[in-house]
Structure 1
């Protein structure tokens, strides 16, 4: 996908470059007509002016023509023939010679170096041949050597622009591939962290219990039944954590605004739990992919705590964006509440608050938990704005 985008940008740049060159051609035609003021307008001059203007307008006004030249640059060789025809008809003294410089620039940009150099030789040779067959009334350096040098220089300028553009495209492609690789690495790291924080610990406990079970069966068969039941509960808990992990990984959809994703998350939780969950948003802004993922996980954990431990009857989720780019998500329930420990750590035997605090710290978010027994719980997750980050 990144390669396709870079290729599209390259084609667009080519069309723009050719279009600007044709605009320069039209301006040169206008200057040429100014230079002919006071002279008789002959049919050959008018025909050449029409041919050059038509070719320039065709590229500027028709996207199909510009796209065709971007895809088939060799077709621009026809413009070289038009240029030679103009010089042959009007001679080397005509102001329209300046118009043909745009042809050399586009040739240098569109064609491969070898072919562009060949076209430069053809332009110079054609010009010198016309000058030899139709000697100007007043010979001078500009007519004899200046214009041929301009052709060569214009082709070189076009080639330099082509080289610089290709280098830019290659750098953009490499940057895109690096971003994809970084995103993939971040996703793998995030998945590893998720599995370590939840599923890995549960599975480790099950493995230890399974290793101890044969000894318990030998020494105390009656206790072994309860021990096996605990292992079964642990296995069920691991399955539940795996499902929750997959659900959280699917929860974030970076192509959708954070407010929409969070609203969908609240609606899904309300359907599963049967507890009303009111969602409000006000001037919300978005976050980076990693930060919004962690924020969604923290909100999900706060909702689960409200269902499992607080027996809440109503939950409110509010997402607020600030003018400085800051963001705040607040989850409030009317449940049983609890005594908040130091640093908003989980009570003994629970890990929800601890995991939320670790997630917030990892994503550069701040976490506040306010709760009192029988007074409900409020979880505030915030992201600093640009002004506060700078401070």
Structure 2
């Protein structure tokens, strides 16, 4: 119910505003010879109270739910108008709001009690009008409309209020369930992303540290100087793993890159820095459209895939040079795309990439290629590995792009 209350309160506010309008219409439609001071005062009072309640609906609605006696007072007040104006006058429509509000705010049992009390109040008003007006009454009370239709309208409007309440409650429940599912999906996606990032950084560093630690006892026996060097390497690798873990934690807190930097410029910076650290010649080429950029999430994942591809080149390929090509494309009626192609002159895959991916999908304990593919697929892109028999490897990434404005021209960088 707490999730539904704001919607119900907003609907009650609308009905109270409608009552104000109906009161104004009643004053205009009641014949001048039937308007008395009492009728004028009562109609204006109901309009003002409805306006005040609508203005302060955020406080009024919870208070009305906690004090149903206010509904009884409201029914008595509007019933008094019928005593003066008659059961079939324009003011009758203002009394229907009470049963509708009761149906919206209360359970159907309480709404039924309110409707029954309103029918009783209407019958009393009918008798009161007949007694006050006497034989000179301008409105006939012994009619099918006055005796059957009007009382039935109270039950109908109460039912409509209950029905609207039920619809809004179901809608709120569905929205809560959807939000819970979205949170669960986001948490699962974040776990998958963290698993990929852990594999791309900390896991590889720790794996190398573990291998060095395993060999340390042997070097202590055979070559103490080499053992000392290996120990230093383990310390350095441990520090690197700690730094990578801190970077991952920081990334979890703020998983945003600098969106003001054009993608090609960010890519060129990553390639240039990698080339200096690895000692492998790297060149960035291509002429992407300056007004086209990968979409926000696609940009993040594309840069992560690029880093992983370059890391694989350094560790496994034995390449002497790497070419990175960036391109954009948009055909007639087709969405814009941004492609990044990484080509090296190394040894290539000893096992076909398709078989490696199949093995990783079945759970062989490795996630390198699979993590890259999942990153691309997560943002609606694609990633293809090509390794011809003559050697070398090509990683071809395509991600969705969008048109932007005020972007600096894409740079051409080489290292």
Class of the TM-score when normalised by the shorter of the 2 chains:
0.5 to 0.7
- Counterpart CA distance in 1 for 2:243 and 2:125 is 86
- Mapping of 1:1-150 within 5 angstroms? 7=3, 10-11=5-6, 13-29=7-23, 32-33=26-27, 35-37=29-31, 39-60=33-54, 62=55, 65-74=56-65, 77=71, 78-135=73-130, 137-150=140-153
Shift of 1:96: 1.2
- Counterpart CA distance in 1 for 2:330 and 2:74 is 56
1:348 aligned residue: none
Kept in 1: contact 2:99–2:155 (CA 8 A): yes
Distance 1:380 1:10, change over 3 A: farther
Kept in 2: contact 1:10–1:169 (CA 8 A): no
The gaps in structure 2 that reach 5 residues or longer are 131-138, 277-288, 313-318, 354-366, 386-394, 403-415
The gaps in structure 1 that reach 5 residues or longer are 345-350, 370-378, 387-391
- Counterpart CA distance in 1 for 2:292 and 2:101 is 49
2:381 aligned residue: 365
2:279 aligned residue: none
- Mapping of 1:254-293 within 5 angstroms? 259-260=259-260, 282=291, 286-287=295-296, 291-293=298-300
Return the TM-score normalized by structure 2: 0.64
Distance 1:36 1:85, change over 3 A: closer
Greater relative CO (CA pairs within 8 A, separation 6+): 2
Shift of 1:161: 1.0
CA deviations on 1:249-287 (whole Å, 9 max, x unpaired) are 44524xx9x724879x95xx79xx7x9xxxx97465744
- Mapping of 1:124-273 within 5 angstroms? 124-135=119-130, 137-221=140-224, 223-253=226-256, 259-260=259-260
- Counterpart CA distance in 2 for 1:205 and 1:304 is 14
Return the TM-score normalized by structure 1: 0.68
Shift of 1:310: 10
- Counterpart CA distance in 1 for 2:370 and 2:190 is 22
Shift of 1:209: 3.0
SS in 2 for 1:95: coil
- Counterpart CA distance in 1 for 2:369 and 2:220 is 36
1:376 aligned residue: none
Shift of 1:30: 5.4
- Counterpart CA distance in 1 for 2:174 and 2:62 is 21
RMSD (Å) for aligned C-alpha atoms: 5.0
Kept in 1: contact 2:294–2:338 (CA 8 A): no
Kept in 2: contact 1:104–1:154 (CA 8 A): yes
SS in 2 for 1:383: strand
- Counterpart CA distance in 1 for 2:84 and 2:401 is 67
